[in-house]
Structure 1
Amino acid sequence: MKLNSLTLAKRYSRALFELASDNNELELVTNDLNAIHEIFVSNPAYVQDLASPSLPSSAKQAIINTLKQDAHPLVANFIQMIFEYQHLDAVVLIIEYFNRLVNDKNKIVHANATTAVELSTDQKDQLAARLAQHLGANKVVLDTTIDPDIIAGVIVRADGKIIDGSLATKIAKIRQMLVK
């Protein structure tokens, strides 16, 4: 029975995370995995070529050997195993789940702030600091989006939560109260 990609990603990422943590090599492994992630994301044909029956096994192994060449031994073994078990199509998802585990351990939260206007660097830093305090995080990595429809204020999506401080939402709530 073949596992679905999500189940497979969670299992492989957890195993790799635990091995890297136990060996105190989490940062090295994370850096190498992120480099491989970038290769696979920026070259989607890469996985297709490796899965193609027209490409000889020796050529596929040569590509895998190139990927493993300067990688941490845990990452090299991971890439070889994923290749041998024909799960290369799940590499990106596995690495993304691995990064989630690393972020959870380090209390790093990724957030998106939607504002009506562009925020200055200082405003972004202040917002990230307030969010870190509010969410109990050590660090907030903040991405921003501009949406003039919110009129003013900010809508933050982080850690599965939405904090809506937009003027558009406040106006909508006042309208609802007036209609009652």
Structure 2
Amino acid sequence: MSLDRTTVAKRYARALFELLSEKDQLEDGYTELQQLRRVFQDNPQLGTVLSDASLQAADREKLVGQLTSQASPYIKNLIQMVYDYGRMDVMVAIIDQFQALYDEKHHTIYAHVTTAVDLSAEQKDQIATAYAQRVGAQKVILDSQVDPTILGGVIVQSAGMILDGSLKTKINKLRRQLLA
């Protein structure tokens, strides 16, 4: 029975996370994995090419050699092991799972903010700080978008939770109360 991609990614990520934590290499490993993720994102077919037989084995090994040439020993071992098991197409998922473990350890969350107008850097910082206090995080990384249909206020979405402080929602709520 073969394991699904998520299960495989979680197992590799957890093992690497625990190893790097134990060896006091977590920060360096995290930085290196972010660089490796960029390589795979810049070359979307790389994982597939390294996982199937469409490319000669010698050529695949040459590409893997380029990935491992500048890697630290632990990341090099990860790349080689994932390659040996024919799972290079799961590498970005492994890094994503590692990122989730890293963020959890550092109490970092990601939030999507929708406003009616562009926010200044100071306003984003204020929202991030307030949201961090509300959810007990040390750091909030905001991604923002403008949606003039909300009229005003802020909508914050994170980890399946939505805090809707938009004027549009408040007006609709008031309308329902008046019509009831």
Q: TM class by shorter-chain length?
A: over 0.9
Tell me the alpha carbon deviations over residues 96-151 of structure 1, each in whole angstroms, 9 at most, x when there is no partner: 11001000000111111100000011111111111111111111111111111111
Q: For 1:101 and 1:7, how far apart are their aligned partners in 2?
A: 14
Shift of 1:10: 1.1
Distance (whole Å) between structure 1 residues aligned to residue 119 and residue 128 of structure 2:
12
Query: Equivalents in 2 of 1:105, 1:120: separation in Å?
Result: 29
Structure 1, 43-52 or 105-114: larger mean CA deviation: 43-52
**Equivalent residues in 2 for 1:145-160 (5 A)?**
145-160=145-160
Deviations 1:5-47 (A, max 9, x none): 0111111111111111111111111111111111111211212
TM-superposition CA deviations, 1:54-75 (whole Å, max 9, x none): 3221111111111011112111
Q: Mind listing any 5+ residue stretches in structure 2 that lack a counterpart?
A: none
Coordinate RMSD, CA, aligned: 1.1
Give the aligned partner of residue 7 of structure 1.
7
Matches within 5 A, 1:130-169: 130-169=130-169
Alignment of 1:109 with 2:95, yes or no, is no
User: TM-score, normalised to structure 2's length?
Assistant: 0.96
Q: Is the 8 A contact 2:47 2:91 kept in 1?
A: no
TM superposition shift of 1:160: 2.8
Q: Distance in 1 between matches of 2:29 and 2:58?
A: 27
Residue of structure 2 in register with 1:91 after alignment:
91
Q: SS at 1:140's partner residue?
A: strand
1-structure distance, mates of 2:166, 2:27: 38
Number of aligned residues: 180
- Counting aligned pairs with the same residue, the percent is 43
Task: Could you list the structure 1 runs, at least 4 aligned residues long, displaced by more than 3 angstroms after superposition.
Answer: none
